[in-house]
Amino acid sequence: PLVNVYTDTTITEATGYVGNFVTRVNSERGVKEIKHGATVIATGAEEYKPAEYLYGKDDRVLTSLELEERIAKGESSVTNAQSVVMIQCVGCRQKDRNYCARVCCSQSVKNALKLKEMNPEKAVYIIYRDMRTYGFREDYYREAADKEVKFIRYEPEDKPLVEVVEAGGKRVLRVTVTDFILGKKIALDTDLLALAAAVIPSATADEVSQLFKVPLSPDGFFKEAHVKLRPVDTTTDGVFLCGMAHYPKHISEAVSQAYGAAGRAVTLLSHD
């Protein structure tokens, strides 16, 4: 009974200070003024919609999230596919967006294992720059390699080439990549191409940042007060943050950080 949920809501104004915030919101219930002692920013992040590798121009090219959804639904386009290629670091670790999205390597390995579970004969290729399956996720990387998921490394200045070619009267989706070990170009004809698209800041990050006077990092995510000493606090007293609003992270890390933010808020609210 003490939890109030406002869906489809926009914040029109945020004023006040620690212990005495006033936030005006506009929702389907109308305009309301909320008085509160602490604020937790958990606005999440978004998936980058690629402009490269024929995404949006060929329906066989998907993002990793879209592939994951099709695997979960058991769609025929996935179950019938004889080969699947995945390209990592799409839209990140480059000049204009130089951070790592952190979740993509583990997600691609997980999807690859699921595809192999459907059909061990399915050809699955992961074209990567650096595999970053950190922590115990390294075990899944080894498992994928043992199940003959092929890992091919590429250099940022020699990215894979994706094109549609005519072969045997069919329009074939072809991925050409330089194999770093062989020192030769390899052409892979594939039924599906999954792009590990970057995790980008929420579209509302700028707006929320100005409302609650919380600075953003150079990458556009909300900035913590101190990376080691105050990881869920912001420079504004009484405003805390967690989840992907702070930086790309796995669900388990987002949950742990949410506990931290809740703990900090409770510590504050325990005072008069």
H-only helix segments in the chain: 64-73, 76-79, 104-118, 138-146, 205-212, 251-269
**Cα Rg of the chain (Å, integer):** 22
Given a contact cutoff of 8 angstroms between Cβ atoms, the answer to whether 37 and 19 are in contact is: yes
Identify the DSSP state of 237: T
Given a contact cutoff of 8 angstroms between Cβ atoms, the answer to whether 262 and 40 are in contact is: yes
Is 167 or 241 the better-scoring residue by pLDDT? 241
pLDDT at 16 over 90: yes
Tens digits of per-residue pLDDT, 89-136? Answer: 999 999 989 999 999 999 999 999 999 999 999 999 999 999 999 999
Tens digits of per-residue pLDDT, 197-209? Answer: 999 999 999 999 9
Dist CA 24 CA 35 (whole Å): 9
Across residues 148-166, what is the average pLDDT? 94
pLDDT at 272 over 90: no
